[in-house]
Amino acid sequence: MSDPIAAVATPASPSAIGILRLSGDGVISMVERVFRPLSGSPIGERPDRRLVYGALLDKYGQPIDQVLATVSRAPHSYTGEDTAELQCHGSPAVLAQALEALFAQGARQALPGEFTKRAFLNGRMDLAQAEAVIDLIDAETAEGARNAYGQLSGALSRRVAAVYDALVDVMAHFHAVLDYPDEDIDPFTADGLRAALETQRAVLRALLDTYDRGSALTEGIPCAIVGQPNVGKSSLLNALLGYERAIVTDVAGTTRDTLEERIRLGGVLLRLCDTAGLRETGDAVERLGVERARQSMEGARLILVLLDASQPACEEDFALLRQAMALAPTILVRSKSDLPSAPVPCVTMELPPAVAVSAKTGDGLEQLEAQIAALFPQGSDEVGSLLTNARQAEATKRALERIEAAQTGLTDGCTPDAVLTDVEEALSALGELTGRTVRADITDRIFSRFCVGK
């Protein structure tokens, strides 16, 4: 058991319900001293996870709210320790007084993520599942929430464990043959090792390939809106967001910096980046904006190239299209479709998907959303077992590199014990995914992302 902690697990603004959470040694007796059931026996004598109605007391023993209380005893609780919850009315003043009462009983303020960290340290969940908790809290799309739930339920952990266990079996087989030569054990052969390594290499490669989709669910897809000055980039951003986020004027070069906003389009979470108009300029500030616009293009996974449909397209427009298509999936947006259209010149280059849009009337926005959804279709087969952050991807990449190094060593004629050194390093990297082998500073960094009370 650990020292008792307490925290408000709901937002700090007035709400219908406010929840206090406790975990650690002695928290049930603490709750008994600040909670008075309106009927029946004390809360400590009630079954686990049974809601009990009663009065909440401040540190002076005066009632301040009518609440519901429940307890869960170790090890069958979220943290693996004795835990308790008080479900109050969501008055910040009531919650603050309740916390004071619990602190007076010996509890301390919980740190950000400390409840989930204790769950990890007590074996109630592994590190991948713990990270899924914050992904679930932060989920901005239905698919992101489904993936986080699947990961919390152990889908990714099981996928990693299958590779880990297979490599452990390879190591165990080698050492069993080496240590017990007189036993009736199947021989350890180079062909068998080669086949095992190739199987797990393929699994790890497929797992690493899920990172693009997984990170898109949690972080969003970087989407750059680019084009010549005054083609309607800021107007499109405002139309998609539904409010005036960017300043729009008839003066070319109004946008001097990049503006980023998150939005869901076609079921896809996008990080829309409005950029300065791409042109040669002698203005030092505007030139910095143009450079940032080019950097946004280079880091984007989707590029919307805007051409003013009311003006004839020029060679600079097609040069920008070619540049964008070489960097990322691109959609050609013919803006200002509410104005009379200029003739479209004949071009020999292959054009990306195109849609006509009017930011003024909203025409074409649904078609643009459909184009985006087609470029990033939602899947379901792997939901729950996707890599969703850079830490997971980096550990998987290291494991894959060590397996490939083992394969190279085997091809080059290295002895099995030398090859298995790389396999051991791969196991260590895989262990970091679920927390089997992970440094304390890494866990501290992971749980620092959490809010207090979770």
* pLDDT tens by residue, 360-387: 898 999 999 999 888 887 765 577 889 9
Give the E-state strand segments of 58-198 in sequence order: 63-72, 83-90, 108-109
**Dist. CA 185–CA 295, nearest whole Å:** 59
Q: Kind and range of the H or E element at 28? A: helix 27-34
* Partners of residue 307 on adjacent β-strands: 334
More confident residue, 233 or 148: 148
β-pairing, 83-90 vs 108-109, is: unpaired
Q: For strand 221-227 and strand 268-274, is the pairing parallel, antiparallel, or unpaired?
A: parallel
**Which pLDDT score is estimated for 250?**
52
Number of alpha carbons in the 13 Å side-chain half-sphere of residue 276: 23
For residue 363 the two structure tokens come to 């025409």
Residue 260 belongs to what H/E stretch?
Answer: strand 259-265
User: What's the pTM value of the predicted model, to 2 decimals?
Assistant: 0.79
Mean pLDDT lowest among 185-194, 281-290, 339-348, 432-441: 281-290
pLDDT at 254 over 90: no
Predicted local confidence at residue 184, as pLDDT = 60
Q: What is the pLDDT of residues 112-127, one digit of tens each?
A: 999 999 999 999 999 9
Q: Which of 151, 153, 120, 122 is nearest to 435 (CA)?
A: 120
CA 294 to chain centre: 26
Tens digit of pLDDT for each residue in 149-190?
999 999 999 999 999 999 988 888 777 766 556 566 666 678
E-assigned strand segments in 77-138: 83-90, 108-109
- Whole-number Å distance between alpha carbons of 119 and 338: 57
Mean residue pLDDT across the chain = 86
210-226: average pLDDT: 87
